[in-house]
């Protein structure tokens, strides 16, 4: 829910100030060009959906 609110806020700002589109694209490209940041973000996104392994009991 929060991510949709943030997306709506960003789109609203871009509609009010179209010149900010270039800034947003530049920032997104800079973040996407760093593999560590992308891997960290993907890990945060996927972690809630991963199952925790059960303990092994011999």
Average pLDDT of the chain, as a whole number:
81
Q: So what's the pLDDT on residue 7? A: 86
Contact 14, 21 (CB under 8 A): yes
Here the tokens at position 5 are: 């609110």
Q: So what's the pLDDT on residue 43? A: 86
Percent of the chain at pLDDT exceeding 70? 95
Q: Does pTM top 0.75 for this prediction?
A: no
């Amino acid at each position: 829910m929060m991510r949709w609110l943030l997306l709506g806020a960003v789109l609203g700002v871009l509609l009010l100030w179209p010149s900010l589109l270039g800034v947003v694209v530049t920032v997104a490209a800079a973040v996407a060009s760093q593999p560590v940041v992308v891997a960290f973000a993907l890990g945060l996104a996927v972690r809630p959906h991963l199952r925790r392994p059960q303990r092994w009991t011999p």
